[in-house]
Amino acid sequence: MENVFSEGMGHSSFSWENLGDIKEGRGDLGEDMPVLVYRLMQYTMLDELSKAYGPEVANDHFRNAGFLAGTEFAKNVLDLTLDFNAFVANLQKTLQELKVGILRMEAFDAGTGNIVLTVGQDLDCSGLPVTNETVCNYDEGFIAGILEAYTGKKYNVREVDCWANGDRVCRFQGAVL
């Protein structure tokens, strides 16, 4: 396994193997952790990036990180050989088992590849105060990465409804570029 930290650089480029053997490393604590801890890391990191680069650039970085995560997640966790309906069912099951959220497909246009998905009880924002904004930029990238890994086509995914803007599910529209 490649060393996560390189001298003088702080860290190396991400690879799935750098996640390590979580079962071995967390034998007593296990693989789960509270959503609170995940959000604490996510939102403090976003705050620091926003202060340093502005909110738009910070959101772009989160979207890009989500894309990398989604791509690697799809390649290493999902079965990319399944037909579309079976793939979506597998993705739904996997996201629910990992407690990421409850995925539902609202619309799919087989001709264009455009898609509308919702995620309920999602990891990033369910339960946040209403701020009249969409906040799931990481998820936009994550979904785009999964879709590209499966279809081989580039997607632009944007959140159109969010818990933080008063909705009770996050709704994402994906369009093939």
Q: Is the pLDDT of residue 40 over 50?
A: yes
Contact 102, 126 (CB under 8 A): no
Question: Who has greater pLDDT, 43 or 4?
Answer: 43
- Per-residue pLDDT tens digits for 114-126: 999 999 999 999 9
- Per-residue pLDDT tens digits for 69-123: 999 999 999 999 999 999 999 999 999 999 999 999 999 999 999 999 999 999 9
Report the pLDDT value the prediction gives residue 3, as an integer from 0 to 100. 44
In the predicted model, what is the mean pLDDT of residues 131-149?
97
Contact 134, 157 (CB under 8 A): no
Domain boundaries, the chain: 32-176
Report the pLDDT value the prediction gives residue 1, as an integer from 0 to 100. 40
Share of the chain above pLDDT 70, in %: 94
CA angle 34, 40, 45 (to 5 degrees): 140
What is the three-class DSSP state of 120? strand
Spatial distance between the Cα atoms of 165 and 1, rounded to a whole number of angstroms:
42
C-alpha radius of gyration, the chain, whole number = 17
**Statement: 32-176 belongs to CATH 3.30.1380.20:** yes
In the predicted model, what is the mean pLDDT of residues 162-176?
96
What tokens appear for 155 in the block?
Answer: 């997607």
Q: What is the mean pLDDT of the chain?
A: 93
Q: pTM of this prediction? A: 0.92
